[in-house]
């Protein structure tokens, strides 16, 4: 198939690699340029989103935030200018559910289909083609794109109409943030009390407290490996979406708000580009104590 992909960052680059490996023709664009590794695999670099849309039948987006999606779709040399009826937009970014519904309506007016399909799993999941993909849109469009989703992810679910995928992703980010905070508090408590946090984590992995967050991010907290991964500034953006939505619905999300404040503290200390497991640093700063003072060597 002739596919387009806009956004070739930490997540987008390996996702394009999987589509290329399956034999699809890829037309790609990124503000920072196309990585040589992708062009070596056969990806065709395009000068603009319009150029991508003119060449491809299904166009994937993987960019940071709502304004970026709006600009890619409807800005100067945007995707919309290169569309013809029957093409499909698949936005795999994590953005506002409300804006998503408006974007989908405008694309539908051009005679094209739209799916919102944000992902969870981070860089590791993107490289392993094991992403969780949460989809909003029509069942017919989902069925058309599903074989391509299967090249990039494992747990692929049609949630409902346009906007539902983004709503599910916001819910996912609430769960992940609160779990990171809980793991951070637990390991900080254990370390301050004099226990070996690595052994505490190992013990907890065998009980009801076990989780992927404890497994992956608990290890990052102990080994002090806060290179992304998934940047705090992006998770901060996702929690903003949660709190904005909650305000609009008259809903209280007190622990989400607290996690957001901890991320704000990390950003204030220069940690916007830390992996989101670095949220623990805000807890450590408040406690004037660090879980693991020096990097722990791998066993």
What does the pLDDT look like over 98-120, one tens digit per residue? 999 999 999 999 999 999 999 99
Residue that has been written with the tokens 């769960």 in this structure: 175
pLDDT score, position 122: 87
CA distance 168 to 162: 11
Among 44, 87, 169, 237, the one annotated catalytic: 169
- Annotated catalytic, 169? yes
Q: Are strands 119-120 and 131-136 parallel, antiparallel or unpaired?
A: antiparallel
CA distance 98 to 12: 24
Does residue 297 surpass a pLDDT of 50? Answer: no
For the stretch 20-62, pLDDT in tens is 999 999 999 999 899 999 999 999 999 999 999 999 999 999 9
Confidence of residue 295 (pLDDT cuts 50, 70, 90): low
Bridge partners, 133 (sequence order):
119, 156
Q: Are strands 44-45 and 88-91 parallel, antiparallel or unpaired?
A: unpaired
- As a whole number, the mean pLDDT across the chain is 96
**What average pLDDT does this structure show over 253-271?**
98
Contact 270, 249 (CB under 8 A): no
Distances (CA, A) of 107 to 99, 118, 159: 12, 18, 20
Q: 10 or 252, which is more confident?
A: 252
Does residue 141 surpass a pLDDT of 70? Answer: yes
Does residue 299 surpass a pLDDT of 70? Answer: no
Report the predicted TM-score, pTM, of the whole model to 2 decimal places: 0.91
**What average pLDDT does this structure show over 153-158?**
97
- What percentage of the chain exceeds 90 in pLDDT? 93
For the stretch 199-240, pLDDT in tens is 999 999 999 999 999 999 999 999 999 998 889 999 999 999
């Amino acid at each position: 198939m002739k596919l387009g992909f806009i956004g070739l960052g930490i997540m987008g680059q390996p996702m394009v690699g999987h589509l290329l490996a399956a034999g699809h023709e890829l037309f790609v664009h990124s503000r920072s340029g196309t990585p040589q590794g992708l062009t070596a695999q056969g990806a065709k670099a395009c000068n603009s989103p319009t150029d991508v849309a003119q060449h491809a039948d299904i166009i994937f987006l993987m960019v940071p935030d709502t304004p970026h999606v709006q600009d890619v779709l409807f800005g100067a040399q945007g995707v919309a200018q290169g569309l013809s009826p029957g093409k499909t937009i698949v936005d795999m970014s994590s953005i506002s559910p409300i804006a998503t519904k408006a974007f989908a309506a405008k694309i539908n007016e051009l005679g094209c289909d739209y799916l919102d399909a944000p992902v969870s799993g981070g860089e590791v999941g993107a490289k392993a083609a094991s992403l969780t993909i949460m989809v909003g849109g029509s069942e017919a469009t989902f069925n058309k794109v599903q074989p391509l989703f299967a090249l990039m992810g494992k747990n692929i679910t049609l949630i409902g109409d346009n906007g539902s995928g983004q709503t599910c992703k916001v819910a996912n980010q609430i769960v992940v943030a609160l779990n990171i905070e809980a793991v951070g508090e637990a390991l900080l408590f254990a370390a301050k009390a004099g226990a070996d946090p690595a052994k505490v984590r190992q013990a907890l992995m065998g009980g009801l407290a076990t989780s992927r967050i404890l497994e992956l991010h608990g290890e990052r907290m102990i080994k002090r490996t806060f290179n992304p991964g998934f940047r705090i500034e992006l998770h901060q953006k996702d929690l903003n979406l949660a709190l904005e939505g909650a305000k609009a619905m008259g809903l209280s999300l007190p622990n989400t708000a607290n996690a957001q404040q901890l991320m704000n503290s990390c950003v204030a200390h220069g940690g916007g580009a830390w992996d989101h497991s670095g949220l623990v640093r805000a807890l450590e700063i408040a406690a004037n104590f660090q879980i693991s003072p020096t990097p722990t060597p791998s066993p």
